[in-house]
Structure 1
Amino acid sequence: MKSLFTWRRTLLVLAAAGLVGQCSAFSLGGAEDAVLLPPPTLDENTQAHSETAVFAGGCFWGVQGVFQHVKGVKNAVSGYAGGAADTAQYERVSEGDTGHAESVEVTFDPAQVSYGTLLQIYFSVAHNPTELNRQGPDHGTQYRSAIFVQNSEQQRVAQAYIAQLGAAKAFDQPIVTRLESYNGFYPAEEEHQDFLTEHPTYPYIVINDLPKVAQLKQLYPQRYQEKPVLVKAGR
C-alpha cells in the first residue's frame, strides 16, 4: 500500500538520521505468534557443503534477522525475487506490480542445518504462512508468502512439508505459501541489509521483528546462535 510504504520510508530516513527513538509506531501492527512445528518427515539428501534457499514472508528486515541467528547459516541477504532485474528496486517493488516479493537469500551448510530445518523455522517463526498477500501491517503481493525453489529436490521437500503441516492441522487456517520457480535473486539496497541488527530501537523492528528472533531462541534453542551472521561484516 502506498501510504504504508511512505510511512516506512519516512521511518527509514529518520533512522538514518539517528532519530529512531523519536518515532511513533502508529498502526504498524504487531508480531505474529510463532507456532512450534514438528520437523519435516522428508528432508533433502545432499552431500553439498553449501546451498542457497530463497524465502519470501513479508518485510525482508525480519526474515533476514531470523535467519541470521540460525546456526549453520553462512549468509542471509535481503533482496527481491519473482520479477525482472530492471524493477528490482525498493521503490518500484513497493508499488506492488513488479512480480517481485521482498525475499531473503539464505546460504547455508547442509551439514549443520538442513533445508528441511530452514523450512521449519520459516513456517514457524519467520512469518505467518496463512496470510495471503500480506504479513502483519504490510499488504500487497510483494509481501506474499513464497518459496523460490532452487531445484527439484527443494521442490519435493517443500511440497511434502506443506502437505505434512496441512494434514496435521498445524495452523487454524490453510497455508497459502506459493512454491515459485527461481528466476533470479537481486540483493536489496545497502540500507536494507542487516537492518534489524543496526536499528534495534526502530519502531517497526521492535513491534514486528525482534519478537521473531526471541521466539526462535525460545522455541528452537538448539538452532539459535546469539551472534548474527551479518552481510556487511563480510565486505
Structure 2
Amino acid sequence: MASPTSFLARLFRPFTQSTTSAMSSSTAASTAAAIPEGAEKATVAAGCFWGVEHIYRKHFGGKGLYDARVGYIGGDSSNPSYRAVCSGSTGHAEATQLIYDPTQITYTQLLEFFYRMHDPTTLNQQGPDRGTQYRSGIFYHSPEQEAIAREVTAKVNEQWWGGKVVTELLPAKQWWDAEDYHQLYLDRNPGGYECPSHFLRTFPSLN
C-alpha cells in the first residue's frame, strides 16, 4: 500500500531548486553531436515533461527510441532556468525531444502517440497544471515534418478530438536541456508526480 506521502507526491508537483541553471549551449551542442548517424529528432510539448518523457520511453524503449530528453523550447530568453520557465515569463514550453531510428519508428507514429497520451484541447493546461509552459505543441525540424504534423493534426482533430485541438505547430528553434535533476525524473523518483492527463486513450485507427 502506498504511503500518504507517496500518494500526495503524485498529486502535487514539487518545486525544487536543486539546480538553478539549464545546460549551457555548448554542452547542448555536444549532446546533439552524439546523435547516432541516421537518427532523427522529434520535439513535442504536452504538459509536465516528466510524464511525457517517461511514457515515451516506456512505450518506445527498445523499439527504435535512442533517447528522450526534457527541456525548454518556444520562448525568447536564453539558457532559461526551471524557476523562470515556471513563472511564465520566458515564453518557453516544457518539452520533450526524442531521438529515434526512422527505420523502426516513423514520425507519424510518434505524433499519433502524442495525441493519444495527453489532452490537446485544453489551452495552456494539462490536468491541474496551468500556464503557458504546459501548452500543447509540436515543434517540427523540417518541411517534411511540418507536412506530417499538419496532416496528422487535421485527422486527429476531426476523428478523435471533435474539432477542439489547440496544439500549436511551430518550427523548432533553440532547444535548452532542462536541469539534470529533471532528466529521467520518474525513473529516479518512482512515487513522483505524474500529470493525470498523461495516459493512452483507446482511439480507433486514423482513416
In the superposition, the TM-score normalised over structure 1's length comes to 0.67
Residues 110, 191 of structure 1: CA spacing in aligned structure 2 closer, same or farther, 3 A cutoff?
same
Please state how far the C-alpha of 1:49 moved relative to its aligned partner.
Answer: 2.5
Per the TM alignment, residue 163 of structure 1 is displaced from its structure 2 partner at its CA by: 1.1
- Within the candidate set 70, 88, 106, 2:98 is matched to 106
Measured in 2, the distance between the counterparts of 1:22 and 1:120 equals 32
Q: CA deviation at 1:162?
A: 1.1
From 144, 148, 153, the counterpart of 1:153 = 144
Please name the residue that 2:168 is paired with: 178
Identity rate, percent: 35
For the residues of structure 1 that align with 2:84 and 2:132, how far apart are their CA atoms?
A: 13
- Structure 1 ranges of 4+ moved more than 2 A: 19-29, 84-87
Contact kept in structure 1, 2:157 and 2:163, CA below 8 Å: no
Query: After the TM superposition, which residues 51-200 of structure 1 pair with which residues of structure 2 at under 5 Å, given as runs?
Result: 51-69=40-58, 70=60, 71-125=63-117, 127-168=118-159, 170-172=160-162, 174-200=164-190
Give 3-state SS (helix, strand or coil) of 1:196's partner.
Answer: helix
Cα-to-partner distance string for 1:38-57 (whole Å, 9 max, x where unaligned): xxxxxxxxxx8210011001
1:24 is paired with a residue whose SS is helix
Query: How far is the alpha carbon of 1:98 from its aligned partner?
Result: 0.9
Cα deviation code 1:120-170 (max 9, x no counterpart): 110001x111111111111011100011110111100010111112232x1
Gaps of 5+ in 2: 14-36
The Cα shift of 1:95 comes to: 0.6
Alignment gaps of 5+ in structure 1: 1-18, 30-47, 221-235
**Could you tell me how far apart the structure 1 residues matched to 2:124 and 2:161 are?**
17
Question: 1:159 is matched by which residue type in structure 2?
Answer: R
SS of 1:77's equivalent?
Answer: strand
- Given that 1:62 and 1:208 are in contact with CA atoms closer than 8 Å, whether structure 2 keeps it comes out as no
Alignment: residue pair count: 175
1:128 and 1:160 map into 2 onto residues whose CA distance is 18
Match for 1:54: what amino acid?
T
| TM-superposed deviation, 1:86 | 2.5
Kindly state the Cα deviation for residue 84 of structure 1 after the two structures are TM-superposed. 3.6
Equivalent residue letter for 2:177: P
State the Cα distance separating 1:26 from its structure 2 match: 8.7
Q: Distance in 2 between matches of 1:96 and 1:58?
A: 13
Show the counterpart of 1:37: none
Contact kept? 1:87, 1:98, Cα under 8 Å: no
Measured at CA, do residues 79 and 68 of structure 1 come closer, stay the same or move farther in structure 2, by a change above 3 Å?
same
Assess if the C-alpha contact under 8 Å between 1:82 and 1:101 holds in 2.
yes
CA contact (8 A) 2:50 2:70 kept: yes
Distance of 2:196 and 2:184 partners within structure 1: 15
Q: Which residue of 1 aligns with 2:20?
A: none
RMSD, aligned α-carbons? 2.6
Q: Counterparts of 2:72 and 2:97 in 1: how far apart (Å)? A: 9
Distance, in Å, in 2 between the alignment partners of 1:166 and 1:23 is 34
Q: Give 1:24's aligned residue.
A: 8
For residue 94 of structure 1, give the secondary structure of its aligned residue in structure 2: helix
Higher helix share: 1
